[in-house]
Protein backbone atom coordinates (compact mmCIF):
# COMPACT_ATOMS: atom_id res chain seq x y z
CA UNK A 1 0.00 0.00 0.00
CA UNK A 2 1.29 3.44 -0.89
CA UNK A 3 2.15 5.60 2.10
CA UNK A 4 -0.02 8.74 2.04
CA UNK A 5 1.93 11.74 3.33
CA UNK A 6 0.51 15.24 3.76
CA UNK A 7 2.85 18.08 2.76
CA UNK A 8 2.18 21.81 3.09
CA UNK A 9 5.58 23.27 2.20
CA UNK A 10 6.18 23.69 -1.57
CA UNK A 11 9.94 23.76 -0.93
CA UNK A 12 9.93 20.26 0.57
CA UNK A 13 12.68 18.33 -1.29
CA UNK A 14 10.52 15.21 -1.36
CA UNK A 15 8.53 16.93 -4.13
CA UNK A 16 11.52 17.50 -6.42
CA UNK A 17 10.34 14.90 -8.95
CA UNK A 18 7.39 17.18 -9.73
CA UNK A 19 9.09 20.56 -9.62
CA UNK A 20 9.30 23.23 -12.37
CA UNK A 21 7.31 21.38 -15.03
CA UNK A 22 6.93 24.61 -17.00
CA UNK A 23 10.65 25.51 -16.92
CA UNK A 24 12.38 24.14 -20.01
CA UNK A 25 15.89 23.85 -18.60
CA UNK A 26 14.89 22.35 -15.24
CA UNK A 27 11.86 20.18 -15.92
CA UNK A 28 12.32 16.61 -14.64
CA UNK A 29 11.00 14.91 -17.80
CA UNK A 30 13.81 16.17 -20.05
CA UNK A 31 15.66 13.22 -21.62
CA UNK A 32 18.95 15.06 -21.11
CA UNK A 33 18.09 15.82 -17.49
CA UNK A 34 16.48 13.49 -14.99
CA UNK A 35 14.48 11.79 -17.74
CA UNK A 36 11.47 10.97 -15.59
CA UNK A 37 8.08 9.98 -16.95
CA UNK A 38 5.33 12.32 -15.70
CA UNK A 39 1.66 11.35 -15.87
CA UNK A 40 -1.15 13.77 -15.05
CA UNK A 41 -4.82 13.16 -14.33
CA UNK A 42 -6.49 10.13 -12.78
CA UNK A 43 -6.92 8.15 -16.03
CA UNK A 44 -3.34 8.68 -17.22
CA UNK A 45 -1.89 8.02 -13.77
CA UNK A 46 -3.85 4.76 -13.61
CA UNK A 47 -2.28 3.72 -16.91
CA UNK A 48 1.15 4.57 -15.60
CA UNK A 49 0.51 2.46 -12.50
CA UNK A 50 -0.45 -0.47 -14.78
CA UNK A 51 2.61 -0.02 -17.03
CA UNK A 52 6.15 -1.45 -16.77
CA UNK A 53 7.52 1.98 -15.81
CA UNK A 54 8.79 1.95 -12.18
CA UNK A 55 6.70 4.48 -10.25
CA UNK A 56 8.60 6.77 -7.86
CA UNK A 57 5.73 8.66 -6.23
CA UNK A 58 2.52 10.61 -6.61
CA UNK A 59 1.46 14.16 -5.83
CA UNK A 60 -2.11 15.41 -5.73
CA UNK A 61 -5.03 16.89 -3.91
CA UNK A 62 -6.69 14.47 -1.54
CA UNK A 63 -9.79 13.64 -3.58
CA UNK A 64 -7.69 12.74 -6.63
CA UNK A 65 -5.29 10.58 -4.64
CA UNK A 66 -8.24 8.82 -3.02
CA UNK A 67 -9.72 8.10 -6.46
CA UNK A 68 -6.74 5.84 -7.26
CA UNK A 69 -6.23 2.21 -6.30
CA UNK A 70 -2.86 2.32 -4.52
CA UNK A 71 -3.13 -1.08 -2.81
CA UNK A 72 -0.32 -2.65 -4.86
CA UNK A 73 1.97 0.37 -4.78
CA UNK A 74 4.89 0.73 -2.38
CA UNK A 75 5.79 4.38 -3.01
CA UNK A 76 4.84 7.66 -1.31
CA UNK A 77 1.66 9.50 -2.31
CA UNK A 78 2.00 13.14 -1.32
CA UNK A 79 -1.25 14.95 -0.54
CA UNK A 80 -1.34 18.74 -0.64
CA UNK A 81 -3.53 21.69 -1.57
CA UNK A 82 -4.10 22.93 -5.11
CA UNK A 83 -2.17 26.10 -4.21
CA UNK A 84 0.91 24.23 -2.97
CA UNK A 85 0.76 21.92 -5.97
CA UNK A 86 0.66 24.90 -8.35
CA UNK A 87 3.68 26.40 -6.60
CA UNK A 88 5.62 23.17 -7.01
CA UNK A 89 4.82 22.39 -10.66
CA UNK A 90 4.74 26.00 -11.87
CA UNK A 91 1.11 26.24 -13.00
CA UNK A 92 -2.40 25.34 -11.84
CA UNK A 93 -3.05 21.68 -12.65
CA UNK A 94 -6.75 21.15 -13.34
CA UNK A 95 -6.39 17.37 -13.26
CA UNK A 96 -5.24 17.49 -9.64
CA UNK A 97 -2.80 14.56 -9.56
CA UNK A 98 0.63 13.65 -10.94
CA UNK A 99 2.76 10.52 -10.87
CA UNK A 100 6.47 10.26 -11.60
CA UNK A 101 8.25 7.14 -12.82
CA UNK A 102 11.64 6.05 -14.08
CA UNK A 103 11.94 5.01 -17.70
CA UNK A 104 11.64 1.35 -18.61
CA UNK A 105 14.47 -0.34 -20.54
CA UNK A 106 14.48 0.58 -24.23
CA UNK A 107 12.97 -1.85 -26.74
CA UNK A 108 15.18 -3.31 -29.45
CA UNK A 109 13.83 -2.87 -32.98
CA UNK A 110 14.34 -6.53 -33.91
CA UNK A 111 12.49 -7.73 -30.79
CA UNK A 112 9.61 -5.34 -31.45
CA UNK A 113 9.36 -6.47 -35.07
CA UNK A 114 9.35 -10.16 -34.09
CA UNK A 115 6.35 -9.60 -31.81
CA UNK A 116 4.33 -7.42 -34.18
CA UNK A 117 1.95 -7.76 -37.09
CA UNK A 118 1.39 -4.04 -37.73
CA UNK A 119 3.81 -1.20 -36.98
CA UNK A 120 3.81 2.56 -37.33
CA UNK A 121 7.19 3.88 -38.46
CA UNK A 122 7.77 7.61 -38.01
CA UNK A 123 10.26 9.96 -39.63
CA UNK A 124 10.65 13.53 -38.41
CA UNK A 125 7.51 13.69 -36.26
CA UNK A 126 8.70 16.43 -33.95
CA UNK A 127 5.45 17.75 -32.51
CA UNK A 128 4.75 16.23 -29.10
CA UNK A 129 0.97 16.47 -29.44
CA UNK A 130 0.96 14.76 -32.84
CA UNK A 131 3.22 12.07 -31.46
CA UNK A 132 0.91 11.48 -28.49
CA UNK A 133 -2.09 11.32 -30.83
CA UNK A 134 -0.36 8.75 -33.02
CA UNK A 135 0.25 6.52 -30.00
CA UNK A 136 -3.38 6.87 -28.90
CA UNK A 137 -4.58 5.98 -32.40
CA UNK A 138 -2.17 3.05 -32.55
CA UNK A 139 -3.54 1.66 -29.29
CA UNK A 140 -7.13 2.05 -30.47
CA UNK A 141 -6.68 0.62 -33.95
CA UNK A 142 -4.62 -2.51 -33.52
CA UNK A 143 -1.06 -1.29 -34.14
CA UNK A 144 1.40 -3.41 -32.20
CA UNK A 145 4.26 -0.93 -31.88
CA UNK A 146 5.85 2.30 -33.03
CA UNK A 147 9.31 2.77 -34.56
CA UNK A 148 10.81 6.23 -34.10
CA UNK A 149 13.22 7.25 -36.84
CA UNK A 150 15.35 10.38 -37.09
CA UNK A 151 13.88 13.74 -36.14
CA UNK A 152 11.16 12.37 -33.86
CA UNK A 153 10.51 13.96 -30.49
CA UNK A 154 10.55 12.13 -27.18
CA UNK A 155 7.30 10.13 -26.75
CA UNK A 156 7.73 10.19 -22.96
CA UNK A 157 7.70 13.98 -22.73
CA UNK A 158 4.83 15.01 -20.44
CA UNK A 159 2.73 16.55 -23.23
CA UNK A 160 2.98 13.41 -25.37
CA UNK A 161 2.00 11.23 -22.43
CA UNK A 162 -0.99 13.48 -21.69
CA UNK A 163 -2.24 13.74 -25.29
CA UNK A 164 -1.90 9.98 -25.74
CA UNK A 165 -4.12 9.54 -22.65
CA UNK A 166 -1.35 7.36 -21.27
CA UNK A 167 -1.33 4.94 -24.20
CA UNK A 168 2.29 5.81 -24.99
CA UNK A 169 2.97 3.83 -21.80
CA UNK A 170 1.11 0.84 -23.23
CA UNK A 171 2.20 0.72 -26.89
CA UNK A 172 5.80 -0.51 -27.16
CA UNK A 173 8.23 1.55 -29.19
CA UNK A 174 11.80 1.39 -30.42
CA UNK A 175 14.13 4.15 -31.57
CA UNK A 176 16.54 3.78 -34.47
CA UNK A 177 19.18 5.97 -36.08
CA UNK A 178 19.86 3.37 -38.78
CA UNK A 179 17.94 5.19 -41.48
CA UNK A 180 16.59 4.09 -43.85
CA UNK A 181 18.38 0.78 -43.18
CA UNK A 182 15.80 0.05 -40.47
CA UNK A 183 13.21 -0.35 -43.23
CA UNK A 184 15.32 -3.11 -44.78
CA UNK A 185 15.38 -4.87 -41.42
CA UNK A 186 11.58 -4.72 -41.26
CA UNK A 187 11.34 -6.04 -44.80
CA UNK A 188 13.66 -8.91 -43.83
CA UNK A 189 11.26 -9.66 -40.96
CA UNK A 190 8.40 -10.06 -43.43
CA UNK A 191 6.85 -6.58 -43.32
CA UNK A 192 5.59 -4.67 -46.32
CA UNK A 193 6.71 -1.06 -45.81
CA UNK A 194 3.95 1.29 -47.01
CA UNK A 195 4.82 4.98 -47.21
CA UNK A 196 1.93 7.46 -46.93
CA UNK A 197 2.18 10.33 -49.39
CA UNK A 198 -0.24 12.87 -50.90
CA UNK A 199 1.19 12.29 -54.40
CA UNK A 200 -1.58 11.94 -56.97
CA UNK A 201 0.38 9.22 -58.75
CA UNK A 202 0.34 6.91 -55.72
CA UNK A 203 -2.35 4.20 -55.57
CA UNK A 204 -5.19 4.50 -53.08
CA UNK A 205 -4.46 2.95 -49.71
CA UNK A 206 -7.52 0.68 -49.99
CA UNK A 207 -6.36 -0.64 -53.39
CA UNK A 208 -2.82 -1.58 -52.36
CA UNK A 209 -3.65 -5.10 -51.14
CA UNK A 210 -2.19 -4.56 -47.67
CA UNK A 211 -4.92 -6.01 -45.48
CA UNK A 212 -4.03 -9.31 -43.86
CA UNK A 213 -0.29 -8.77 -44.35
CA UNK A 214 2.45 -7.72 -41.97
CA UNK A 215 2.59 -4.00 -42.67
CA UNK A 216 4.77 -1.13 -41.46
CA UNK A 217 3.02 2.19 -42.12
CA UNK A 218 5.59 4.89 -42.80
CA UNK A 219 4.55 8.41 -41.72
CA UNK A 220 6.50 11.63 -42.20
CA UNK A 221 6.82 15.03 -40.58
CA UNK A 222 3.93 17.45 -40.24
CA UNK A 223 5.18 19.88 -42.90
CA UNK A 224 7.26 18.35 -45.69
CA UNK A 225 6.20 14.76 -45.08
CA UNK A 226 8.50 11.84 -45.79
CA UNK A 227 11.91 12.38 -47.29
CA UNK A 228 12.57 11.11 -50.82
CA UNK A 229 15.07 8.69 -49.30
CA UNK A 230 12.43 7.13 -47.07
CA UNK A 231 9.85 6.84 -49.84
CA UNK A 232 12.43 5.21 -52.13
CA UNK A 233 13.24 2.68 -49.40
CA UNK A 234 9.57 1.67 -48.96
CA UNK A 235 7.96 -1.22 -50.82
CA UNK A 236 5.01 0.88 -51.90
CA UNK A 237 3.86 4.49 -51.66
CA UNK A 238 0.12 4.89 -51.06
CA UNK A 239 -2.25 7.80 -50.59
CA UNK A 240 -5.52 8.51 -48.87
CA UNK A 241 -8.01 9.86 -51.43
CA UNK A 242 -9.38 13.28 -50.47
CA UNK A 243 -11.89 15.79 -51.78
CA UNK A 244 -10.73 18.40 -54.25
CA UNK A 245 -8.92 21.34 -52.68
CA UNK A 246 -7.47 19.39 -49.72
CA UNK A 247 -3.98 18.08 -50.33
CA UNK A 248 -3.11 16.41 -47.02
CA UNK A 249 -4.17 15.45 -43.50
CA UNK A 250 -2.58 16.03 -40.13
CA UNK A 251 -0.05 13.21 -39.60
CA UNK A 252 -1.93 11.71 -36.64
CA UNK A 253 -5.19 11.77 -38.58
CA UNK A 254 -3.56 10.20 -41.63
CA UNK A 255 -2.10 7.52 -39.40
CA UNK A 256 -5.51 6.76 -37.90
CA UNK A 257 -7.08 6.36 -41.36
CA UNK A 258 -4.29 4.00 -42.41
CA UNK A 259 -4.42 1.99 -39.21
CA UNK A 260 -8.19 1.55 -39.57
CA UNK A 261 -7.83 0.51 -43.21
CA UNK A 262 -5.47 -2.28 -42.14
CA UNK A 263 -7.70 -3.72 -39.41
Q: What is the pLDDT of residue 29?
A: 63
Secondary structure element (H or E) that encloses residue 255, with its range: helix 251-261
Please give the class, per CATH, of domain 3-101: alpha beta
User: What dihedral do alpha carbons 108, 110, 116, 121 form, nearest 10°?
Assistant: 80
Return the CATH architecture of domain 109-261.
3-Layer(aba) Sandwich (3.40)
Residues 258, 228 contacting (CB under 8 angstroms): no
Task: For residue range 95-125, list pLDDT tens digits in order.
Answer: 899 999 999 888 999 999 999 999 999 999 9
Report the alpha-carbon distance of residue 188 to residue 190 in Å, rounded.
Answer: 5
Q: Is the pLDDT reported for residue 243 higher than 80?
A: yes
25 versus 121: the higher-pLDDT residue is 121
pTM (two decimals): 0.93
What are the residue ranges spanned by the domains of the chain?
3-101, 109-261
User: What dihedral do alpha carbons 37, 38, 41, 43 form, nearest 10°?
Assistant: 0
Amino acid sequence: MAKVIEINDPADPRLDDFRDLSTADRRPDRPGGRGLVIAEGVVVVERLLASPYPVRGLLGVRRRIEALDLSDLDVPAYVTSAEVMASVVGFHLNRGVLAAADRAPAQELEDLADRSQRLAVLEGVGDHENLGSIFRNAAALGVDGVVLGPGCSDPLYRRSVRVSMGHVLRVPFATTDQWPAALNLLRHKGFTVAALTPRASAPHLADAGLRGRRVAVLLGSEGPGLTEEAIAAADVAVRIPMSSGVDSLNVATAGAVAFYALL
